[in-house]
């Protein structure tokens, strides 16, 4: 079998290369305290949609640093005397929340669903400067030259937590039966959210992004989704005098270092031919998860549609939520 990374036996015990900052725990404790002080000012507006079994809404809320965030919110059209489960869905890097149509299968299953647009990317959420996000890349390295608390992904992780908490607080949602899901960046955000909001009960992460940055660099795969690592060094540290500090700072937003905080049941999917989010970087996070977990391996697949994974995810949530 051809491989692009370590053999599967070595992946199973791989512990990651990117350093963890000494004050990592304090960093996220302070971040969550900041989030707790934010007045979300949630607003929902109905959206006309032909689905006969669902109600659809534009949902907006205020995140950390004053950004106004957008999300799609869907719920079953018929009210229930019992509160229903909920699911927070996160999208891939530079993109936006899925189309309403793509979220409807979960509503048909009886879930209320929130799908947030990440700030500064391809959707309707505001960037911290107060404008709709239109950037294509550069989010990993944004804030590297400032204080660690200014890292953009710190704010995006907190946005994902806040969107999930808003879902949990919806009157029709059972806050103890909420899951998170996503692929690539969405998979990374699902794990980060489950780590930072421990009430999350189940998480599905398909080839998660934002893990083990130094490993990506050492494999010479800092291209495509991780290309900004190379560009940052070329522009701001061409002789690599400060590269060690760069990777240490990125450790604050490395999902592998958040993974031990996850309490949720986890289902992860990894393609062993993935050159966008290399398998070892995904295993770096998976191997640190201490809760109940399962990993589905696709030996011949890369960063692409994984046959049968959507059905596995639906079954996983149905059994846990």
Q: Which residues are catalytic?
A: 184, 274, 303
- Sign for the CA dihedral angle at 199, 181, 114, 42 comes to positive
Cα–Cα distance between 193 and 35 in angstroms, integer? 13
> Rounded CA gap, 69 and 60, in Å?
5
Please tell me the distance from the alpha carbon of residue 177 to that of residue 173, in angstroms, as a whole number. 8
10 Å CB burial of residue 87 (0-12, 13-18, 19+) is buried
Q: How far apart are CA 33 and CA 74, in angstroms?
A: 29
- Indicate the burial class of 221 (C-beta count within 10 angstroms; 0-12, 13-18, 19 or more): buried
Question: What does the radius of gyration of the chain's CA atoms come to, in whole angstroms?
Answer: 19
């Amino acid at each position: 079998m051809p491989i692009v990374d370590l053999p599967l036996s070595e992946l199973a015990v791989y512990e990651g290369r990117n350093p963890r900052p000494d004050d990592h725990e304090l960093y996220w404790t302070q971040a969550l305290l900041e989030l707790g002080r934010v007045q979300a000012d949630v607003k929902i507006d109905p959206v006309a949609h032909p689905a006969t079994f669902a109600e659809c809404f534009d949902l907006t809320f205020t995140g950390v640093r004053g950004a106004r965030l957008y999300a799609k919110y869907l719920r079953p059209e018929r009210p229930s005397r019992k509160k229903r489960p909920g699911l927070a869905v996160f999208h891939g890097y530079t993109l936006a929340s899925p189309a309403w149509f793509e979220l409807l299968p979960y509503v048909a299953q009886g879930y209320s669903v929130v799908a947030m647009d990440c700030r500064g990317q391809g959707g309707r959420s505001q960037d911290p400067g107060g404008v709709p996000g239109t950037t294509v890349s550069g989010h990993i390295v944004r804030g590297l030259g400032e204080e660690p608390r200014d890292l953009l992904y710190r704010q995006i992780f907190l946005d994902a937590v806040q969107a999930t908490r808003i879902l949990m607080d919806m009157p029709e949602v059972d806050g103890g039966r909420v899951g998170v899901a996503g692929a690539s960046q969405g998979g990374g955000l699902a794990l980060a959210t489950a780590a930072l909001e421990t009430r999350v009960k189940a998480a599905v992460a398909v080839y998660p992004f934002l893990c083990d940055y130094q490993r990506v660099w050492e494999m010479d795969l800092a291209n495509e989704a991780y290309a900004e690592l190379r560009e940052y060094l070329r522009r701001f540290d061409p002789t690599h005098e400060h590269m060690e500090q760069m990777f240490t700072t990125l450790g604050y937003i490395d999902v592998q270092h958040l993974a031990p905080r996850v309490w949720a049941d986890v289902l992860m999917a990894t393609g062993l031919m993935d050159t966008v989010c290399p398998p070892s970087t995904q295993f770096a996070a998976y191997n640190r998860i201490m809760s109940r977990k399962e990993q589905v391996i696709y030996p011949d697949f890369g960063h692409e549609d994984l046959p049968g994974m959507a059905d596995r995810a639906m079954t996983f949530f149905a059994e846990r939520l």
